[in-house]
Structure 1
Amino acid sequence: MNERKEEEREVLDAAMLAGHILLENGAEIFRVEETMDRICRRYGIESCSSFVLSNGIFTTAGNQREEMFAKVQHIPVSGTHLDRVAAVNQLSREIERGSLTPGEVRDRLVLIQQMPGKSKRMQILASGVGSACFCYLFGGNLKDAAAAFFPGVLLYVYVIYLFGPHLSKLVGNIGGGALVTALCTLLYMLHLGDHLNYMIIGSIMPLIPGVAFTNAIRDIADGDYIAGSVRMLDALLVFFCIAMGVGMVFGLLNRFTGGGFL
């Protein structure tokens, strides 16, 4: 009997950890709830019930035959790591096939949680390439795209070494928008680009929380109005802060040039 209780608690802890990893790394609410439910039911726990918000998980279990269990975890709104989400999804499929014990599931989840992200060098390079590609995609020419590469690179140097460790989300995004606008304006004034608007739009794209915004719409469409609204508000706040940073630089330019620049 005691062994069964220990196994049930191990299963519930594993389900909670799986939900934590998914939610923390950008998965949709329905995916988190479904994965937790699948893990519990696969190991014979029928009474598990989970309530998931965008920044927290509430899990309870227990009836006449099963031990009572309740746990709450707060999960701050953070970035997106879809490789970890994909790894948990693959693990969920293996659990469905019945090839893993609860202890093995827990060990695999710990390994997934510790998966390293992309290197700083790779993130910086990807930001530059992405900025150049978005600039060209939105209508800029090759000269604009080449110019947008450098603000994109410097933007992620700022994000990794200053924004992430030292600045709040609001201040960091305002600073990022201002930095990109100032750099693109400087390159435009040096005639290294032909279209300032496309250069700024392309360079600023690495800051845009596209996955979070898309997931917010999906959550609202699935009826998870609270979680979807929180994610939507978070994404809209980022958009507002970026726009504020861009507007601040343009305002200063207008003031110092007498309105002749724009």
Structure 2
Amino acid sequence: MEQPIQKVVEVCLLAGKIMLESGAETYRVEDTMTRIATAFGLPESHSFVMPTGIIFQPDGGDSAKLNRIMERTTNLRKVDAVNAISRQLCNGELSIIDAVKSLHKIDKEGSDYSIRLQITAASIASACFAIMFKGSWQDFIPAMISGGLGYLFFIYFHRLVKVKFFAELIASFCIGIVSFILTSVGLGQSVDIIIIGSVMPLVPGLLITNAVRDLMAGHLVSGVSRGVEAFLTAFAIGAGVAIVFIIL
């Protein structure tokens, strides 16, 4: 049964928006949108995806549609959920009406993990990274404290200042201060190891991976832009820690 083009476009743009906002690679977003359009009889549709926007041109001469992407985070569960819906659509197991409802439900969902759980995970990860980077067990607890507080500062300041660069800069600065305080009172042995372990939860690993994968897939604009974003994050982390070393 042929579906209205407007409905197909709505599903394609919504699926692409959710995936891109949740940290999916550019080529994966384009491939998913193209497969959905083809499944509903629009094989000549075209999509152009960048980290900040999606342009979709449906088959049949209709005007291109633009969807602006304002926020990006990491939520691979949403990416997997949209992929599952796209496979069901392609196999004819899901109607387009049900797909729209399911996608809107996924879009409205928040993070699967509470802020408390995220901070706890960042604390444990920071402490484990400190040991992995050949720190002593005396640095384990200080790295846990510093990493948890640093991630807490990141979440708090990112809500106050929507520019992620400044939130990361302030968070890494706070990590440096806390690490120096803990080592000065004798709770830690190596301030360098504690800082390195504590900033690891802020490191843009997914951004770097997606930038390389987009470049390898031939999406040069998206690959370069993601790479620059990863560089700015790394620069913010390094600058925040460097300011602490300059001051102290």
Give TM class, smaller chain.
over 0.9
Aligned residue for 2:179, secondary structure, equals helix
- Residue in 2 aligned with 1:258? none
1:78-227 equivalence runs, <5 A: 78-117=72-111, 118-166=113-161, 168-227=163-222
Aligned to 2:45: 48
**How far does residue 115 in structure 1 lie from its aligned partner after superposition?**
2.0
For the aligned residues, what is the CA RMSD? 1.6
Under a length normalisation based on structure 1, what TM-score does the superposition of the two structures give? Answer: 0.89
Alignment equivalent of 2:244, drawn from 218, 227, 249: 249
| 8 A Cα contact 1:54 1:77, kept in partner | no
Q: Deviations over 1:51-72 (max 9, x none)?
A: 1112111111233xxx624201
1: CA distance between counterparts of 2:161 and 2:217? 36
Range 189-198 or range 218-227, more displaced = 189-198
Task: Compute the TM-score of the two structures, normalised by the length of structure 2.
Answer: 0.94
AA of the residue aligned to 1:248: I
For 2:180 and 2:138, the matched residues in 1 are separated by: 14
Question: Residue 183 of structure 1: CA displacement?
Answer: 0.5
2:128 and 2:84 mapped to 1: Cα distance?
A: 31
Partner of residue 239 from structure 1, selected from 234, 239, 247: 234
Q: Report the structure number with the largest CA radius of gyration.
A: 1
| 1:9 equivalent in structure 2 | 6
The residue type paired with residue 59 of structure 1 is: F
SS in 1 for 2:101: helix
Please tell me whether residue 58 in structure 1 is matched to residue 55 in structure 2: yes
In the alignment, structure 2 segments of 5+ residues that lack a partner are: none
In 2, are the aligned partners of 1:35 and 1:92 still within 8 Å (CA)?
yes
Cα distance in 2 between the residues matched to 1:102 and 1:232: 36
Q: CA–CA distance in 2 between the matches of 1:214 and 1:223?
A: 14
Shift of 1:75: 0.8
Q: Which moved more, 1:87-96 or 1:227-236?
A: 87-96
Once residues 136 and 143 of structure 2 are traced to their aligned partners in structure 1, the CA distance between those partners, rounded to angstroms, is 11
State the 1:77 CA deviation: 5.2
Indicate the SS of the match to 1:72.
Answer: strand
- 2:62 corresponds in structure 1 to 68
Change in 2 beyond 3 A, CA 1:167/1:111: closer
Of 24, 31, 44, the match for 1:27: 24
Aligned residues of 1:56 and 1:72 also touching (Cα < 8 A): yes
Gaps of 5+ in 1: 254-262
**Count, aligned residues:** 247
Measure, in 2, the Cα distance between the counterparts of 1:48 and 1:226.
21
Task: Point out 4+ residue stretches in structure 1 off by more than 3 angstroms.
Answer: none
Do the aligned partners of 1:54 and 1:228 also contact (CA within 8 Å) in 2? Answer: no
Measured after TM superposition, the shift of residue 92 of structure 1 is 1.8
Q: Identity of counterpart residues, as a percentage?
A: 35
Q: By how many angstroms is 1:207 displaced? A: 1.2
Partner AA of 1:218 in structure 2: R
Shift in Å, 1:131: 0.8
